[in-house]
Structure 1
């Protein structure tokens, strides 16, 4: 009996140890994006399980064929299921006060869900640590005035994006971003490199909060549907 208890305690201790390791385990994501005139390329690298698991994926988004001046683009086409006869048919539906009230109720519910989801995601995003952030852009035209205007516009967009990111994320080091005007040259190049990490425990907590939020919303929608059915039957 004592041997069984000892083995049970060992298994419980091992399980708790693994849970703690899982909660504090990091997931490091490295993103490298480059755009050079007509070519785009993304490289994503994920490191987890304390460096044991390493995944890397290179994604060429656009490839320019200089020989025949054609462009290869990865895309998915959705086939239309409508027939010509179906396209000609038009449904006309009258909207009454009850419909308008229902639409407003749905809009209010969707807005509330978006706000609640935003709160949940903000709590998770604040735990994402940005280890390094570098974003360089070269832009230029033969017209010097146009180059200056374009460089200023790109700089403003970058500043706004960085301000938004610094509000929602945690930067371990000061982000580096620059806009380099290339006067009297047609240039459109950018390079973006970022390394960030988060802990599995924070991701699990966010997933649990999302699940609870979804279950509450599902229950509320079900109660609202039952109440609407009762109101219609009582009329």
Structure 2
């Protein structure tokens, strides 16, 4: 029997195609990659997000950071792409003690407005796969004994961090970490990168769950927006 010859054959075929496409999209990964590097006094960092096979892209880059007294000056670049429509912005910012205190207060306010926010974060992280983790550090103090002690301390910090992460996310591949002592001079150099991913369907579900937790409060979503994007 020719299904397409049936009066509703094309409708059935179209329905199956839409269902198949929906399953593929929901199963597609949202890939998040991060990069941080510090060599001497030069710093740069980058965060990128790719979803729906690259149809949606977000990239946040900090090409330059420098200390200015008690504040940190940051050059920032943000690029977005959605269905072929691109936008790009570049601006400067200065992070001081007042902004740090303000950020802490925002976090406390959001924590109060959202029902069990920590539980939501914990449940969402269980859906995340950590597919790549690389962290290389070179440290030197100018003294052999203190350099050896600093090397051991850095190793302890790194293993502690990856141990904590392994309890929250799925570590798919063994992390690659190095700590190299520099016995000749006082120096510090570190380079870190990672790639994590979550299924698009799980990301949508997590967003809906977060919205539901915010809706438990009067004007919860609007208050969230005001707190996060208030000048």
State the TM-score, normalizing by the size of structure 1.
Answer: 0.64
1:215 — aligned with what?
Answer: 215
Counting strand residues as a fraction of each chain, which structure ranks higher?
2
CA distance in 2, matches of 1:77, 1:34: 20
Q: Secondary structure at the match of 1:50?
A: helix
Alignment-derived partner of residue 27 in structure 2: 24
Over the residues paired in the alignment, what is the CA RMSD in angstroms? 3.3
Q: Does 1:76 align with 2:93?
A: yes
Q: Among residues 36, 41, 47, which one is paired with 1:38 in the alignment? A: 41
Listed as ranges, the matches of 1:46-85 within 5 Å are: 46-50=49-53, 58-62=61-65, 73-74=74-75, 75-76=92-93
- Structure number with greater Rg is 1
Shift of residue 72 of structure 1?
7.0
More helix by share: 1
CA distance in 2 between counterparts of 1:142 and 1:134 reads 26
Q: What's 2:88 paired with?
A: none
CA shift at 1:156, angstroms? 2.2
Give structure 1 regions of 4+ aligned residues with deviation exceeding 6 angstroms.
52-55
Could you give the per-residue CA deviations for residues 128-178 of structure 1, whole angstroms, max 9, x where no partner exists?
A: 111111111111011223323322322222222111111101111111222
Distance 1:72 1:49, change over 3 A: same
Q: Distance in 2 between matches of 1:209 and 1:72?
A: 36
Map of 2:184 onto structure 1 = 184
* Consecutive unaligned residues in structure 1, runs of 5 or more: 65-70, 79-106, 221-235
Q: Is 2:143 aligned against 1:143?
A: yes
Q: Report how far residue 51 of structure 1 moved.
A: 5.4
TM-score (norm 2): 0.65
The number of residue pairs the alignment matches comes to 182
